[in-house]
Structure 1
């Protein structure tokens, strides 16, 4: 029954992915073919592939981190290779004097890619790569401090989702507590930079980070207070009086 249900959801996912891929191809066909459109397509593809890597990573439960599903790893490997090919295609338009002239256009795609690569490293290697390590993966594409910080800000949202989704699994409370510590550290470091007037969207990322940290801390608190092995559900304080009246 469980296997059948899982297969059904996987079939749904494959149909949705196929639909999205077809739609993207049709949109590209309808665009006028000029250099700006080609670059837009490249960056859109990098963003879309990075999102797919993130989605694949969420399929790796904390109970599978030491031995991730081979099909998931293979999917990610192929998508990373596709991204590398796309970055290579973008190099001619982003070298020399154009390195920073058009950086604003490529920055959103870089941020999404950074989010995917840092999330992958956290799940598979329990660490967050540095800017220099990420830059070494695409040496001919300039990755700025702003790209890294904003991508790191997006990473925290994925860490929050992972913590919430896995808190009820074996070992989940421990991992959720660990993620809470990572989020608190990133929040402390980013708040100390005071770059709200320098980097666009930085202040918004900080607010989202605070919200993510609070949600994970609440999950840690609930998991800590929830009695283990007694079949007793933890009821938040604000709901306890209602339950007593009933």
Structure 2
């Protein structure tokens, strides 16, 4: 037997015996932690899916404003649905708060970011339909603050949706600036659809302002450099936004310039048909 083999056998005899019960207990603890994280992720995905569906319904509802004789009932219904969406956001905030880690927002972001971005799109579209302006990041963040003692959100009543007066703001959902920007980028697509639908309904008064609104957003987002701040998602959004803006500019050109070559009656729907 060589000296190396003797030393190895001696070290094996001198080694402290492993307590298998301790190993099992440790791995059971790890198992519980992993199961809890996986279960939380699944709940976040489900809530995000429900939030996406609710937000899309809000957007579809708001498109009914074009050609409507009275906008108020549509906006009131949209406010009610926004309150439903806010309750789903509160569930997401509660799930993240139940995780003791400091990076829960970033760890689970990929599980709920699509729902948050869709909600930002719906909220900003509502705000635009109500006031023809862009809702800011800070105002959007305030909308995601909740009372930790209550799981129900109050209906939205003001012209710009905002949470009710709160005594305890311990529970909140921190929205990343990137998710806000991506949601606003999607807003421009809805403005393009509203612009096209307005022409079909003969509502031509606000086409120029709508086009200027989208152009201002596009020009602002173009100031982002091509480095870390311009993600692959954002690059794709910018391409889609440029296409939407071109469609709106072409529509405004056809209405304003080419429209002067034809009677106004041909630019509006015929009520007799």
Partners of 2:190 and 2:131 in 1: CA distance? 16
| Equivalent in 177, 183, 192 of residue 208 of structure 2 | 177
| Equivalent in 54, 59, 63 of residue 64 of structure 2 | 59
Q: How far off is 1:38 after superposition?
A: 2.1
Partners of 1:219 and 1:57 in 2: CA distance? 21
- Does 2:141 correspond to 1:135? yes
- Does 2:247 correspond to 1:215? yes
Aligned residues: 197
| Equivalent in 109, 116, 126 of residue 120 of structure 1 | 126
Q: How far off is 1:124 after superposition?
A: 1.1
Partners of 2:86 and 2:54 in 1: CA distance? 11
Deviations 1:11-51 (A, max 9, x none): xxxxxxxxxxxxxxxxxxxxxx9433222111111111000
Partners of 2:113 and 2:198 in 1: CA distance? 31
Q: How far off is 1:150 after superposition?
A: 0.5
Aligned in 2, Cα 1:132/1:147: closer, same or farther, shift over 3 Å? same
Provide the residue aligned with 2:220 in structure 1. 189
1:6-85 alignment runs, 5 A limit: 34-61=39-66, 64=69, 67-70=70-73, 72-85=74-87
Deviations 1:128-178 (A, max 9, x none): 1100001000020011110111001100000000001102444x3331111
Partners of 1:202 and 1:159 in 2: CA distance? 18
Gaps of at least 5 residues in structure 1 are 1-32, 234-246
Aligned in 2, Cα 1:103/1:229: closer, same or farther, shift over 3 Å? closer
Contact 1:163 1:216 (8 Å CA) reproduced: yes
Partners of 1:230 and 1:183 in 2: CA distance? 28
TM-score normalised according to structure 1 size: 0.73
Partners of 1:47 and 1:54 in 2: CA distance? 11
TM-score normalised according to structure 2 size: 0.66
- Does 2:113 correspond to 1:107? yes
| Equivalent in 193, 196, 215 of residue 164 of structure 1 | 196
What RMSD over aligned residues (CA atoms) do the two structures have, in Å? 2.3
Q: How far off is 1:203 after superposition?
A: 0.4
> Which is further off, 38-47 or 91-100?
91-100
- Does 2:92 correspond to 1:90? yes
Where 1:142 maps in the other structure, the secondary structure is: coil
